Amino acid sequence: MARKLKVFSWSDGLHDYTVATTSRAKALEAWDVGRDLFKDGTAREVAEGRAREAALDAPETVITTPAGGLGAALKALPAKARRKPTKAETARAAKLAALQAELEAVEDEAEASELGFAERRSALDAEEMAATEGFEARWAALEKAIKAARSPRG
């Protein structure tokens, strides 16, 4: 006598995957997943609904239907999977956030420093150009004066 079909379902948040088969192992095989979805409560046996009826109409075939979205998938997870973070995890997250904020502050400081150096370089270049033009003007004037002094008419 053939074994009675059971209907199993799991969701990835976007789609619900339902299959009618004789065992959990065969359901996992039909879904082609690499882990036991029943162990962590992600997959479950379905007792009623349209997806159950569709799966029973096509045994051993995965029926894919749109899910209620990520929020519905998170609510469907067992309480154990939705546990609160431990004190150590919270402390680690706080430390990471503080270090990230410190890194951003250093990056902002480096950027401001770079802008300051660029402004000072620009001012120094302008000062150098003015000094060079002044020296060239004085040099040209002195050359002209020397040339005039050497001239017999001078």
Domain range annotation of the chain: 6-82
Nearest to 53 by CA among 5, 15, 10: 5
> Where do we find the tokens 């002195």?
142
* pLDDT tens profile 95-123: 999 999 999 999 999 999 999 999 999 99
> Where do we find the tokens 């109409």?
57
* pLDDT tens profile 23-57: 999 999 999 988 889 988 889 998 888 888 888 88
Distance CA 115, CA 108 (A): 11
The band of 2, judged by pLDDT with boundaries at 50, 70 and 90, is low
**How far lies 75's CA from each of 19, 36, 88, 118, 151, in Å?**
22, 20, 25, 55, 103
pTM: 0.45
9-18, 42-51, 70-79, 100-109, range with greatest mean pLDDT: 100-109
The band of 131, judged by pLDDT with boundaries at 50, 70 and 90, is very high
Torsion of CA 31, 33, 38, 39, to 10 degrees: 170
